[in-house]
Chains A and B, each alone.
Chain A
Amino acid sequence: MAVATTAAPTASDEKELLISGSEAVAEGLALADIDVVTGYPIRPYDTVIQAIAKKIANGQLVAEYIVAEGEHSQFEIVKHASTVGARVFCGSSGVGWAYAMECLVVTPPLRVPMVCLVGNRALDDPGAFGVEHNDALFVRDLGWMLCWIDTSQEAIDTTLIAYRVAEDRRVFLPLAISADGAFLTHSQALTLVPPKEKVDKFLPRYDRGDLLLHPDNPITVAPQANEDWVIEIRRQNDEAMKRAVAVIEEAYADFRKVFGRGPENPWFEEYMTDDAEIILVGMGTISLPMKVGIRTLRAQGKKVGLVRLRWFRPFPTEKLVKVLSRAKAIGVVDRDYSFGSPFHSGVVANEIRAALYNAEKRPPLLSFICGLGGREVTLEDVYKATDLCYNAANSGKSEAKTLWLGVRE
């Protein structure tokens, strides 16, 4: 499925390429001049490695390129390369990401600013290639920064921003960019690629500083620790994640200064929310059919808007609450599941419920589980969600808290 981009060609020094989300990430990686990259095959993320391999083969990128023997090694290799000062990249999808789980766990306390692409994919079993967000969400509590993108343009831009944020000494945390399998990783759109000089202005060199593992800076990294130390180490991680908020805002502001484009609000995209009675919330490419549906609904006089969440960690609690509190009802469309969670809702829905808990105005919230295993989210799904939200808005409460959309029943 091809996705049209809204970015118009400009007369700037940027070149316009017809590329997939994965290829756009690879363009960003070449511009960021990464030093070490590791790959291991799994659909859909591996298209980014295919694109990088071509760039390396053609001399467009000089980097150590290692095909690992499994995701566990893939992530460990870049973790260690990062500690000696290399800018690194890797990624995975679905159960591949799960296979690397041990290595994902250790990067935040080690303060390794690796940047990864998660090509979101349903978890086995059954083996399915289509998108679900549960893979990336594994690490939501562990100190990983997580963001979701929805276009190739956002893919390249976010790649550059990701290094700027992760490698900021105030942060030094790993960052995963999530891209929906198929809809983004495999479809090509017209994308602006900035020149290297501008990127260099925006993205400084990675400086590991006093944490550099090198004979000139003899340190011991990650010695074994007992209960006398661990809570302090966790508290440091907590602080780094809190500091990331300001660093992300700075990075987007600078991005706009240097490149002359990019969103003012880094955290989420608002579409027709100003006067919206119903606000739908989602992450990733789900935004595209939702926007189309909203335009139709608007034509029918229904005041519906969309919040597309870009950053899930750190979670933009206050900003989100401010927008969502204005609505008469909220419908959160999750492309994930959280079996047995409160109200058996989706992950994003429950996060937003928690965020709203202390808000003065708490509109009814409906959780929609939708598009699992890569099933398309249809306009009918959007209309149905809107109708249910209106019912809740009119009654002031929602009887059913969670609804599955597009499931045969």
Chain B
Amino acid sequence: MADATTFTNQTQILEPFRGIKKVTIEEYFTSGHRTCQGCESALVMKLMVKASGPRTIVLGSTGCMYVANTTYYTTPWVVPWMHTQLGSSGSAALGTAAGLKALMKKGKMKSEPINVIAFCGDGGGADMGIGAISATLTHKEYNSLILLYDNESYANTDIQLSGMTPYGAHTTFSPPGKAHRIIHKRWKKNMAGMMAAGHPECRYVATVCASYAVEMMNKVRRALTIGGPTFIHSLDPCPKGWDYDPMLSHELGELAIETGIFPLYEVEDGQLRYYGKTKAIVEGRARKPVREYLLKQGRFAHFTEEDLSYFQSKVDEMWNKWEVPGVVPFRRVDAARTAATNT
């Protein structure tokens, strides 16, 4: 019963696509899905497997990308795909990777690196499944990628607020009313920062936005190449829940980054690298005012000037006060004191 094999736990070496013209022409996620017009999460699915290639297994936890995306007999998947429970993206990644590893190690299956990607929405990932994701990110001997597609609500079930819904947004669980204009007063979780900071042996964490498709795919390729458990947080504009003309999905993705609401960065082996327009912001380029982003969405149509300024001030904090801007919200005590004396 000794280890009978040449198994080495290697990953596929996926070099970055050097520009849009070099992106693989094959599709591994095609049509059959019933997502909304302009669904950015469906695009994330397409780009995710375009990046990973055919030797990939995808696990999808309950959410839009399960219910709308993969209906009985009308699958869009070319690669093998399996549903997992709402809070189970971490466990699905881990179990699939462990099963493959065991069989290859014991010579029961041909040994080859197979990409394992489990995706979850913000509800499944940042709310219910955060424990399992956290656990998986500590199992460094299993290669898998967990991709959180964040459309900022339980969009599948009718747009209910999640721990990732922005402050004040209109959802079916947080309708603006006569007595209370704002029902949802929580600030959104900082998922990628939390995953990177809390899992010292997770070698790769990144944030992405499909408005920047090639960059997004290259982050997926990097995560799969580095191996071990990795985590990517994707911000996906949602025409249904955010209430905007589906044509504008990309524009809203861009605005989320240009306003500094959603920073783009990767943390590889503990090294933080901002990229894209976020890099420019860190280097001093002015952020667009958040109102340019918020007022293009029906979910914020009830905002008053006061709400807009509150939102702006919270985003300003991310960049002006956080120890690592946009990533780590701590402040050193001495720095806080200095700031206090200066005011």
Structural contact, A219 and B80, CB atoms closer than 8 A: yes
Interface-facing stretch out of A62-70, A297-305, A307-315: A62-70
Structural contact, B80 and A66, CB atoms closer than 8 A: no
Q: B84 — which chain A residues lie within 8 A by C-beta?
A: 76, 80
- Give the complex CA separation of A66 and B102 in angstroms: 12
* CB of B113, distance to nearest CB on chain A (Å): 11
Structural contact, A60 and B91, CB atoms closer than 8 A: no
Interface-facing stretch out of B93-101, B212-220, B308-316: B93-101
Q: Does B103 contact A (CB under 8 A)?
A: yes
- Find A80's partner among B59, B72, B77, B134 (CB 8 Å cutoff): B59
Count residues of chain A with CB under 8 A from any CB of chain B.
46
* CB of A116, distance to nearest CB on chain B (Å): 15
Structural contact, A215 and B95, CB atoms closer than 8 A: no
Q: Does A84 contact B (CB under 8 A)?
A: yes
- Give the complex CA separation of A205 and B3 in angstroms: 18
Structural contact, B98 and A73, CB atoms closer than 8 A: no
Q: A103 — which chain B residues lie within 8 A by C-beta?
A: 85, 88
Q: B48 — which chain A residues lie within 8 A by C-beta?
A: none
Question: Residue of A at shortest CB range from B88?
Answer: A76
* CB of A185, distance to nearest CB on chain B (Å): 25
Question: Residue of B at shortest CB range from A217?
Answer: B80
- Give the complex CA separation of A72 and B136 in angstroms: 13
* CB of A268, distance to nearest CB on chain B (Å): 35
- Find A73's partner among B57, B109, B114, B135 (CB 8 Å cutoff): B135
Q: Does A340 contact B (CB under 8 A)?
A: no
Q: Does B1 contact A (CB under 8 A)?
A: yes
Q: Does B81 contact A (CB under 8 A)?
A: yes
* CB of B70, distance to nearest CB on chain A (Å): 4
Q: Does A408 contact B (CB under 8 A)?
A: no
Structural contact, A73 and B72, CB atoms closer than 8 A: no
Question: Residue of A at shortest CB range from B92?
Answer: A80
- Give the complex CA separation of A72 and B86 in angstroms: 11
- Give the complex CA separation of A60 and B56 in angstroms: 32
Q: Does B67 contact A (CB under 8 A)?
A: yes
Q: Which of A167-184 contact B (CB under 8 A)?
A: none
Question: Residue of B at shortest CB range from A61?
Answer: B1
- Give the complex CA separation of A192 and B247 in angstroms: 70
Structural contact, B1 and A36, CB atoms closer than 8 A: no
Q: A102 — which chain B residues lie within 8 A by C-beta?
A: 85
Q: Does B2 contact A (CB under 8 A)?
A: yes
Question: Residue of B at shortest CB range from A63?
Answer: B102
Structural contact, B106 and A60, CB atoms closer than 8 A: no
* CB of A229, distance to nearest CB on chain B (Å): 5
- Give the complex CA separation of A151 and B41 in angstroms: 54
User: Given A76-B92, A77-B91 in contact, is the A33-B1 Cβ separation under 8 Å?
Assistant: yes
Chain B interface SS verdict (over half): mixed
Q: Does B83 contact A (CB under 8 A)?
A: yes
Structural contact, B70 and A220, CB atoms closer than 8 A: yes
Question: Residue of B at shortest CB range from A76?
Answer: B91
Q: Which of B86-125 contact A (CB under 8 A)?
A: 87-88, 90-92, 94-96, 98-103, 105-106, 108-109, 114
User: Given A62-B3, A62-B106, A78-B95 in contact, is the A221-B82 Cβ separation under 8 Å?
Assistant: yes
Question: Size class of B's contact patch?
Answer: 35 or more
Q: A260 — which chain B residues lie within 8 A by C-beta?
A: none
Q: Does B71 contact A (CB under 8 A)?
A: yes
Q: Does B55 contact A (CB under 8 A)?
A: yes
Q: Which of A255-309 contact B (CB under 8 A)?
A: none
Q: Does B79 contact A (CB under 8 A)?
A: yes
Q: Does A209 contact B (CB under 8 A)?
A: no
Q: B88 — which chain A residues lie within 8 A by C-beta?
A: 72-73, 76, 103
- Give the complex CA separation of A325 and B187 in angstroms: 67
* CB of A110, distance to nearest CB on chain B (Å): 8
Q: Does B14 contact A (CB under 8 A)?
A: no
User: Given A81-B96, A81-B99 in contact, is the A76-B85 Cβ separation under 8 Å?
Assistant: yes
User: Given A69-B135, A76-B88, A106-B85 in contact, is the A81-B102 Cβ separation under 8 Å?
Assistant: yes
User: Given A66-B94, A69-B134, A224-B66 in contact, is the A60-B99 Cβ separation under 8 Å?
Assistant: no
Q: A126 — which chain B residues lie within 8 A by C-beta?
A: none
Instruction: Kindly supply a per-residue 1/0 record for chain A positions 30-60, scoring 1 wherever the CB is within 8 Å of any chain B CB and 0 otherwise.
Output: 0001011000000000000000000000011
* CB of A28, distance to nearest CB on chain B (Å): 15
User: Given A72-B132, A224-B66, A224-B72 in contact, is the A86-B102 Cβ separation under 8 Å?
Assistant: yes
Q: Which of A59, A61, A102, A214 is most buried by chain B, counting CB atoms within 10 A of its CB?
A: A214
- Give the complex CA separation of A88 and B108 in angstroms: 14
- Give the complex CA separation of A223 and B32 in angstroms: 12
Q: Does B131 contact A (CB under 8 A)?
A: yes
Q: A64-B98, A72-B91 are known contacts; what are 15 more A-B pairs with Cβ within 8 Å?
A: A35-B103, A62-B2, A62-B3, A62-B105, A64-B101, A69-B131, A72-B132, A76-B88, A80-B92, A83-B96, A86-B98, A214-B114, A215-B56, A218-B78, A224-B72
Q: Which residues of B are interface residues toward A (Cβ below 8 A)?
A: 1-3, 54-57, 59, 66-67, 70-75, 77-85, 87-88, 90-92, 94-96, 98-103, 105-106, 108-109, 114, 131-132, 134-135, 139
21 contacts between A and B (CB under 8 A): A36-B95, A59-B2, A62-B105, A68-B135, A69-B132, A72-B132, A76-B91, A79-B95, A81-B95, A82-B99, A103-B88, A213-B57, A213-B82, A214-B80, A220-B75, A220-B77, A224-B70, A224-B71, A224-B83, A226-B71, A226-B72
